[in-house]
Structure 1
Amino acid sequence: MTLRQTRYGSNASKKENDIFWNRAFEFFKSSEINGLSIGYGKENASGGGIGKIKKLEILRNLKQILDAGTNDPTIFELIGGFQEGVGPDLISDLISNILIEDFISYTQRICAELNIPLSKKSFSKNYEPNELPQNKLTGKPIILVPKEFLRDLPIADSLMDLDWICKKNEQLRLYLNSVIEGSFKKISIKEQKGHIRKAIIDDPIFLREVLEAYKQISPQYYDFVDDPTGETVWYEASKKSSQRISLRFKVISHTNFR
């Protein structure tokens, strides 16, 4: 799937279930991908994916927004801001499906440089198995992601709404408050998303300003130097400990056991 394919399919569609609509639905993949180890899952390394009903709901909302006057694929990055039930985990699944071929090529290149063996592994029901390294503990595939792509997980779904608009653009904040005739911050996240969706559909100028405000925000990558959530500090600490503490092992022949 590519954003361009989904966007053009939705734009060309005149009604649901025509050839362009069905093509966009086909390209709109959010399947679980084993081996990335990102997201909120505690018991597995997969994402959650979304079902057919939620996918149709998202596609309908995107179609409305595209019809409102934008061809900017950046709108796909803001799905969590106007779509109920879509948070960072599902957005991560969507992006992973878009970039999966690049992630696999990256993984294979790094493994070739480090002489790490590869084997044919299945990582998703929607893709053919590919040559990937294997997790020795689970037997499952490992797919590497450049650390520049990663950020810390938001502590709540509210951080995936468009609250940054109010902080970065006073005029947009006042506009949102006028739309709901009250304080945007005092209503629920679900209500916020509904108002934002209606505003960007009803007002093309507002939609353009939202996209411009979003593009001006610098990405917040995870700080692997300070490592605030302890993602890698344990590894560096264990290497230093093994260097400081010298362990001596005595080889004993099996004939000495009684």
Structure 2
Amino acid sequence: MQNKTQIMEKVQVSDYFNLGLTQSQLEFVDVRLDTDIPLFIDPSALKIMNTDWSRNCQRLISSYFRLVLENIRNGNEKKAKSLLVELSEPNETHFGHSMNQSQGRGMGQIRAIKIWEALSKSQAVKTGLVKDLEDTVLMIDGIGPDLISDIVTNIIREPLIQYTKVMCEKYGIPMTEFRTKKLWNPDKEIWERKNLHQVVASVIGNPKPLLLVPRELVRESITYNAEEFNSQYLYEKIQNECYSQGLVRTIKNGETRPIFKKDIREQFVGQTVKEQNINLTIDREAVLEQYKSTKDKYPLPALSSEELKKVLDKTRD
């Protein structure tokens, strides 16, 4: 029998376990096992899955981030950092930007401190604008789709292990009992490890757990987008405010139009998009609620089998 550790390069899950199935026939993302693929878990996708499993995931994310914010606002630096530092490198999904063997972007102690500092110093956190994890993408510098995906993966690791078990039973993939990375317990409000049945794949002789992820959860980015919120929601709100106050531009036929967005942008030279989002939202919280409501109902669409295949094939190059 050929040693699988010798043929790992550019092998997907379906190849490794000899499933004889293509991505269109699988419910999970058929990732490569030797590297990361440029896909991310979008927490907004959980809100339209409408299953007990997705609701449990949302509960885990909400309980964790609420506790982080609570400790930051109460000045409990030690507790907040202890919550953040346990977010390990989520190599198990093989999602991310790495072009070689998966390295992950988990925070570790240094990144945990940086995130704590960004949150604790942010007016968006102090004023209560940031309520949900996804809000940080709109207003906290240094937090983007890849980091959100990493954080979510850590928080919902146990549900993903449970989902992986269901998929393994369905597709005949072998599992073995293995010590987990840290799992979030919302009832005890602690991180803990368990011995659970997991999929273990060998890369260069080093066995590592593998998490299978539902196709419905993955996107090439995530739904929340700082630039979109800035331009299509805040700036348009300001345009309407100016128009109602008589601050308009007049076109050749004498009709009036809202001022250009570039004219608004010129007022905030030197501010990052996220700084603008904070400053402009403080007195316009209804705009943020409108944005969140819209995104909850209409997150980015799930990738089709063909779209997933293109991402996976591109990664193979």
TM tier, smaller: 0.5 to 0.7
Unpaired stretches in structure 1, ≥5 consecutive residues: 236-258
Deviations 1:122-161 (A, max 9, x none): 564675353211224442221100011011248xxxx942
The letter of the residue matching 1:130 is L
Calculate the aligned-residue CA RMSD, in Å: 4.0
- Residue 94 (1) aligns with residue 151 (2): yes
**Does the 8 Å CA contact 1:165/1:173 hold for their aligned counterparts?**
no
TM-score in terms of structure 2 length = 0.56
Aligned counterpart, 2:61: 2
Count how many residue pairs are aligned between Structure 1 and Structure 2. Answer: 224
Higher relative contact order (CA 8 A, sep 6+): 2
What is the SS of the residue equivalent to 1:134?
A: strand
The letter of the residue matching 2:138 is G
The letter of the residue matching 1:135 is A
**Does the 8 Å CA contact 2:230/2:276 hold for their aligned counterparts?**
no
Matches within 5 A, 1:74-113: 76-113=133-170
**Matches of 1:84 and 1:233 in 2, distance apart?**
30
- Residue 149 (1) aligns with residue 217 (2): yes
**Matches of 2:181 and 2:264 in 1, distance apart?**
46
What is the SS of the residue equivalent to 1:133?
A: strand
- Do the aligned partners of residues 58 and 120 (structure 1) sit closer, same or farther apart at CA in structure 2, a change above 3 Å counting? farther
Between stretches 94-103 and 192-201, larger displacement belongs to 192-201
**Matches of 1:204 and 1:233 in 2, distance apart?**
41
Deviations 1:149-187 (A, max 9, x none): 011248xxxx94232553367633637999997327996
Structure whose alpha-carbon radius of gyration is higher: 1
**Matches of 2:267 and 2:309 in 1, distance apart?**
29
Deviations 1:32-57 (A, max 9, x none): 12211001112233421231322212
Aligned counterpart, 1:60: 120
Aligned counterpart, 2:200: 134
**Matches of 2:272 and 2:232 in 1, distance apart?**
19
**Matches of 1:56 and 1:130 in 2, distance apart?**
31
- Do the aligned partners of residues 15 and 96 (structure 1) sit closer, same or farther apart at CA in structure 2, a change above 3 Å counting? same
Deviations 1:45-84 (A, max 9, x none): 342123132221243257x4355355853xx213122111
- Residue 222 (1) aligns with residue 282 (2): no
**Matches of 1:13 and 1:227 in 2, distance apart?**
39
Deviations 1:84-103 (A, max 9, x none): 12222111111111211110
Which residue among 277, 280, 283 is the counterpart of 1:199? 280
TM-score in terms of structure 1 length = 0.67
- Do the aligned partners of residues 61 and 106 (structure 1) sit closer, same or farther apart at CA in structure 2, a change above 3 Å counting? farther
**Matches of 1:149 and 1:31 in 2, distance apart?**
20
Q: CA deviation at 1:110?
A: 1.4
- Residue 182 (1) aligns with residue 264 (2): yes
**Matches of 1:163 and 1:100 in 2, distance apart?**
30
What is the SS of the residue equivalent to 1:16?
A: coil
Which residue among 163, 168, 185 is the counterpart of 2:228? 163
- Do the aligned partners of residues 89 and 70 (structure 1) sit closer, same or farther apart at CA in structure 2, a change above 3 Å counting? closer
**Matches of 2:145 and 2:237 in 1, distance apart?**
23
The letter of the residue matching 2:61 is T
Unpaired stretches in structure 2, ≥5 consecutive residues: 1-59, 183-190, 243-258
What is the SS of the residue equivalent to 1:225?
A: helix
Deviations 1:202-252 (A, max 9, x none): 5434443443343353323222234463426999xxxxxxxxxxxxxxxxx
Between stretches 208-217 and 30-39, larger displacement belongs to 208-217
